[in-house]
Structure 1
Amino acid sequence: MNQPTAQVLSYDPFDPDVMANPLPYYRVLRDEHPVYYIPKWDTYALSRFEDIWEVLGLTDGTFVASEGTLPAATVLEHHNDGPVPDPPLHPMPFHANFDSPIYENVRRCTSAQFRPRSAAKLAERIRALANERLDELLPRGRFDLTQDYGGIVAASMVCEFVGLPVDLAGDVLATVNAGSLAQPGQGVEVGNSRPGYLSYLTPIIERRRAAGADGSVPIADSLINFTLPDGTTFTDVEAATQMLGVFIGGTETVPKITATGLWHLSAHPEQLAAVRADLEANVPVAREEIIRYSAPAQWFARTVRRPYTIHGTTLQPGQRIITLLASAARDEREYPDPDTFRWNRPIERLLSFGHGQHFCLGVHVARLEITIMLQEFLKRVPDFRIDADAASRPPSSFQWGWNSIPVEV
């Protein structure tokens, strides 16, 4: 594997070496190339926390997501010669590709259950699911923290959000995992995965439309009843497509963070002991450091619509930026000694869930799920050992996280 140096750096998010371990590249980018141009994709990579915070916080139309927030190489290989317009309304792509006000209006259809007060009401259900899984898993003595524990709990919640039977949680988890696999040189081809995702989601829309969409399944029913600016409504497939953010985002990230957090704590016995001393008070504190240190999402993209100058470089309309959130999480300008895991690190700002207009819809539920799964595991498991040699973290341009963390209890 070629490791970068300050003198010689070739960064491409789809390069096999980067996908296998991007962290050394991020360090050089932050120190030497905070605005790094990738000619092949006509794209700039931003690596420092403050720069990314500023760029993602802009809501004046300077940056848009018309080409997607996670475009694959097949999108980036086409170089634009000017501003990129919003997509057409029909067939409607995922609403995150639109600028205001369409993006916010469609987002509201999917957001009601994820607002702070609504999310707080889910605590007991999450706790029940976590303990049901532990009832089944602990007698085995060995299981996978990512898939068997966190994965099934998170996928069960997603099933309930979108209107699927909870007994499909394992199938949903497997489908999302398969769709997130990345190929070197290409990245995650979400478009190729959509038929699998929509095979679950489109029938939900069909059933709810036939039943009258009376609001009893909030996300699906709100999308069915939504009216676009031209007076039209979503087709079944279009409505199902708007549910992808909940379906994918709610399934794949939380399990990786939860499992990796338990691994980090077990690797620092004194920190684990400190957290155990008061699980109610200390787990939410440790959770934020766990998220900073191990959130798997690497970057999100925007397309430039208006000229923008940063560090003396002017980005032109049609060019792209990728905001390296995982690099920002290790930026010593924001976090002293960032490569050290410290459970009670003071964290004033965090970019792991994004920032600005596209801030993660499910952030409150995600934090709650991580907190409860950590607490319930630590309540019931006095001693555990991570089988590090058997853990698996496949290369990825995006969700670079531990897909499998076996644990012995």
Structure 2
Amino acid sequence: MTETVDFAYDPFDAQVMADPLPYYRTLRDEYPLYYMPQWDTFALSRFEDIWQVLEVNDGTFVASEGTLPPTTVLAKHNTGPVEDPPLHPLPFHAVFDADLYGEIRRSHSAPLRPRSVAGLADRIRTLANERLDLLLPRGSFDLTQEYGGIVAASMVCGLLGLPDDLAPQVLAAVNAGSLAEPGVGVEVAAARPNYLGFLTPVVERRRADASGDALPVVDGLLGYRLPDGTALTDTEAATQMLCIFIGGTETVPKIVAHGLWELSKRPDQLAAVRADPATNVPLAREEMIRYCAPAQWFARTVRKPYTIHDKTIEPGQRIITLLASANRDEREYPQPDEFIFDRPIKRSLAFGRGQHFCIGYHLARLEIDVLLTEWLRRVPDYAIHSDAAKRLPSSFQWGWNNIPVEV
């Protein structure tokens, strides 16, 4: 598909960054495989197409150029397949193909597996109530940052060996790293020195003294050996922790705050969830994830020819999978622009699919459950000041950074 005179889509365009949803509908209806010649990249917008592409795990699609390549990368058109980056110094593991990526991911994912995550419920509940103890007497505060934001950042600090009192700084650093000027995109590499300022000292301290409480994320990375037998340096190990550091901090607060806002607009739905939280909070959680998840897209570079919608995408070209568009696809979800707390959801792409499925999926869902449950238990009435809510510019994390609430 090529551009038309009356429609053009570019995820880095200022108008798209301000509100991508109308563009997604046009893409789904008229241009399900949309080509952006300036980036030599195709955009996929329909749920089923993205579902099928992301389940391919035979080396056809790789993330060698990053899962969120900025415009500086996309502007350079490839003339053939892109190889994996060199092992030394080791970049973020998501840029490697299946075997190496999977090995490094498994080395530090133990505390994020279902059984381990289930044991974190009390910790999340304690953090949520500590925040509510502080915030509720104030009467008004920021629902995104001051409630869910601090809880999620505190959980990340615990997983990565950082003290809880750094949670506000971690939250601020991650929020800043997602912002982008139109035409540029999220340049993760530029933010990494700031992130690594938190993470590298953790690795250094743990390497020097591994006594005390278990720290499986860091310990797993320190014990890992690359295929050539070498261990990770402190910076390399810290770099592999970025997915937990970033994704674990910014996604859940935006889903919870936005979801509570949507419930407040629909008193009947809010009353139903509040009346039977054990049954209805998990239902509302899944609809909030579908409707409110802030991540917009992820990219892959094609390594083997792939044909879809009668077009063969050649090695070196890219595909961006518009997950946020898939979440609003009427082919999968009837009345997709309506928030329906008990909507039947059989399949979801909000946390990805296949090789790059979100490492923190189980923890995120538990955090949302607990944050919603404790809020509804302790807050009998609340009002969102919608005029003061803010979505800051980002080609990737189109979420509500600030949602003022009065209780």
TM tier, shorter chain? over 0.9
* 1:394 positional shift: 1.3
Matched letter for residue 244 of structure 2: V
TM-superposition CA deviations, 1:226-252 (whole Å, max 9, x none): 100011111110110000000000000
Structure-1 residue corresponding to 2:175: 177
* 1:8 positional shift: 2.0
Residues 215, 221 of structure 1: 8 Å contact kept: no
Structure-1 residue corresponding to 2:256: 258
* 1:18 positional shift: 0.4
* 1:167 positional shift: 0.8
- TM-score, structure 2 normalization: 0.98
Structure-2 residue corresponding to 1:142: 140
* 1:100 positional shift: 1.8
Question: Kindly, what percent of the aligned residue pairs are identical?
Answer: 70
Partners of 1:59 and 1:286 in 2: CA distance: 32
1:54 to 52, 57, 61: 52
1:158 to 156, 159, 169: 156
Partners of 1:43 and 1:120 in 2: CA distance: 40
Residues 18, 25 of structure 1: 8 Å contact kept: yes
1:126 to 124, 127, 132: 124
CA shift in 2, pair 1:6/1:328, >3 Å: farther
Partners of 2:329 and 2:211 in 1: CA distance: 47
Residues 301, 322 of structure 1: 8 Å contact kept: yes
Structure-2 residue corresponding to 1:292: 290
Unmatched tracts of structure 2, length 5 or more: none
Partners of 1:6 and 1:403 in 2: CA distance: 34
Structure-2 residue corresponding to 1:194: 192
Structure-1 residue corresponding to 2:42: 44
1:328-339 mapped onto 2 (5 Å cutoff): 328-339=326-337
Partners of 1:364 and 1:335 in 2: CA distance: 23
TM-superposition CA deviations, 1:299-322 (whole Å, max 9, x none): 000000000000101100000000
Partners of 2:187 and 2:108 in 1: CA distance: 24
2:113 to 103, 112, 115: 115
Residues 185, 396 of structure 2: 8 Å contact kept: yes
Classify the secondary structure of the residue corresponding to 1:53: helix
* 1:110 positional shift: 2.0
2:340 to 339, 342, 354: 342
1:358 to 350, 356, 359: 356
1:187-336 mapped onto 2 (5 Å cutoff): 187-212=185-210, 216-336=214-334
Partners of 1:214 and 1:85 in 2: CA distance: 41
- The answer on 1:167 being equivalent to 2:165 is yes
* 1:7 positional shift: 7.3
Structure-1 residue corresponding to 2:395: 397
Matched letter for residue 383 of structure 2: R
Structure-2 residue corresponding to 1:83: 81
* 1:214 positional shift: 8.6
Partners of 1:159 and 1:399 in 2: CA distance: 21
Residues 203, 234 of structure 2: 8 Å contact kept: yes
TM-superposition CA deviations, 1:120-163 (whole Å, max 9, x none): 11001100000000000000000101000000000000000000
Partners of 1:135 and 1:160 in 2: CA distance: 21
Partners of 1:70 and 1:213 in 2: CA distance: 37
1:361-380 mapped onto 2 (5 Å cutoff): 361-380=359-378
Partners of 1:212 and 1:188 in 2: CA distance: 35
Partners of 1:201 and 1:193 in 2: CA distance: 13
Residues 98, 355 of structure 2: 8 Å contact kept: no
Matched letter for residue 159 of structure 1: C
TM-superposition CA deviations, 1:279-337 (whole Å, max 9, x none): 11100001100110010000000000000000101100000000000000000000001
Partners of 2:278 and 2:316 in 1: CA distance: 48
Classify the secondary structure of the residue corresponding to 1:376: helix
Classify the secondary structure of the residue corresponding to 2:261: helix
Matched letter for residue 27 of structure 1: R
Aligned pair count reads 405
Unmatched tracts of structure 1, length 5 or more: none
* 1:395 positional shift: 2.2
TM-superposition CA deviations, 1:20-42 (whole Å, max 9, x none): 00000000000000000000000
* 1:221 positional shift: 1.3
Residues 390, 402 of structure 2: 8 Å contact kept: yes
Residues 148, 253 of structure 2: 8 Å contact kept: yes
Partners of 2:213 and 2:135 in 1: CA distance: 36
Partners of 1:196 and 1:110 in 2: CA distance: 22
Partners of 2:105 and 2:381 in 1: CA distance: 43
- TM-score, structure 1 normalization: 0.98
Residues 213, 221 of structure 1: 8 Å contact kept: no
Structure-2 residue corresponding to 1:16: 14
* 1:215 positional shift: 8.0
